[in-house]
């Protein structure tokens, strides 16, 4: 398998965690977002969408981190990243989607670029935008976890799941933008517990071979 990845890409980090947690051997192909390599023809030939991650397996290219994690789950079910019960599976997928579908697209690189370029927002304006959507998303997620009471050590009980694979990278992003994370004690406690595991710690942005400061 070959994972097209960028160290700071949180969507790539989700898949790096899933691969590491399941112990799946793979090589990395680095696609620099700051050098706009994701928009170059060479990478568009891999993923026409021009986004990382992409995963090559047996000549097939898979895109979209949630779809890739589902694929890995089907091909390598042990250790699982989804619970067995259909209702619980839907719960985990919903938490993952709150982060990947409701939060991440609003603060993605191309969204922020558009705010700067087309809408002429300065850095302070962009940061305000960023922090607003983190506060809204994490605020809602914290309340959701507290109300559902399905979390334990991790987002769903004491088993690592796709929800954790999405949560941890989103916290890294939020920390990079100096978001106030104190209002989310449950999310941050889960984050801390995840980071005690190799699958999360070894795959974090600054530990990647393409990491730059």
Torsion of CA 151, 195, 137, 106, to 10 degrees: -140
- Write out the two tokens for 115: 């705010």
Considering Cα of 189, then 6, then 12, then 33, what sign does the dihedral take?
positive
Using CB under 6 A as the binding rule, whether residue 38 contacts ligand GSH is answered as yes
C-beta atoms surrounding 90 within 10 Å: 12
Smallest separation (angstroms) from ligand GSH to the CB of 59: 20
Using CB under 6 A as the binding rule, whether residue 93 contacts ligand GSH is answered as no
Binding piece for ligand GSH, criterion CB under 6 A, among 6-14, 82-90, 128-136, 196-204? 6-14
Instruction: Tell me which DSSP letter residue 29 carries.
Output: E
Using CB under 6 A as the binding rule, whether residue 170 contacts ligand GSH is answered as no
Whole-angstrom distance, CA of residue 28 vs CA of residue 50: 17
Using CB under 6 A as the binding rule, whether residue 47 contacts ligand GSH is answered as no
Smallest separation (angstroms) from ligand GSH to the CB of 163: 14
Residue closer to ligand GSH, measured from CB, 109 or 181 = 109
Phi-psi region of 24 (alpha: psi -120 to 50; beta: other; left: phi over 0): beta
* Pattern 101-140, ligand GSH, x by CB under 6 A: -------xxx------------------------------
Q: CA separation (Å) from 139 to 34, 83, 99, 136, 157?
A: 30, 25, 12, 5, 20
Using CB under 6 A as the binding rule, whether residue 65 contacts ligand GSH is answered as yes
Residue closer to ligand GSH, measured from CB, 127 or 186 = 127
Using CB under 6 A as the binding rule, whether residue 11 contacts ligand GSH is answered as yes
CB contact at 8 A, 166 and 100: yes
Smallest separation (angstroms) from ligand GSH to the CB of 51: 4
Residue closer to ligand GSH, measured from CB, 9 or 203 = 9
Residue closer to ligand GSH, measured from CB, 172 or 193 = 172
Using CB under 6 A as the binding rule, whether residue 9 contacts ligand GSH is answered as yes
Of 77, 95, 101, 103, whose CA–CA distance to 164 is shortest? 95
Residue numbers at the binding site for ligand GSH (CB under 6 A):
9-11, 33, 38, 51-53, 64-66, 100, 108-110
């Amino acid at each position: 398998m070959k994972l097209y990845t960028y160290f700071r890409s949180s969507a790539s980090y989700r898949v790096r965690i899933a691969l590491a947690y399941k112990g799946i051997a793979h090589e990395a192909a680095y696609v620099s977002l700051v050098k706009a390599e994701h928009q170059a023809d060479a990478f568009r030939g891999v993923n026409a969408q021009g986004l990382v991650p992409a995963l090559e397996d047996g000549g097939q290219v898979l895109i979209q981190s949630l779809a890739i994690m589902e694929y890995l789950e089907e091909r390598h079910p042990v250790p699982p990243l989804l619970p067995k019960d259909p209702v619980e599976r839907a719960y985990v997928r919903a938490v993952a989607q709150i982060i990947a579908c409701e939060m991440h697209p609003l603060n993605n690189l191309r969204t922020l670029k558009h705010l700067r370029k087309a809408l002429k927002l300065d850095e302070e304006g962009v940061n305000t935008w960023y922090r607003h959507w983190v506060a809204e998303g994490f605020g809602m997620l914290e309340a959701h976890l507290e109300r559902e009471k399905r979390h334990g050590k991790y987002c769903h009980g004491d088993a690592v799941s796709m929800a954790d694979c999405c949560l941890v990278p989103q916290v890294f992003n939020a920390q990079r933008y100096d978001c106030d994370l104190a209002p989310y004690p449950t999310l941050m406690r889960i984050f801390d517990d995840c980071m005690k595991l190799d699958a999360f710690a070894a795959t974090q942005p600054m530990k990647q071979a393409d990491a730059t400061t």
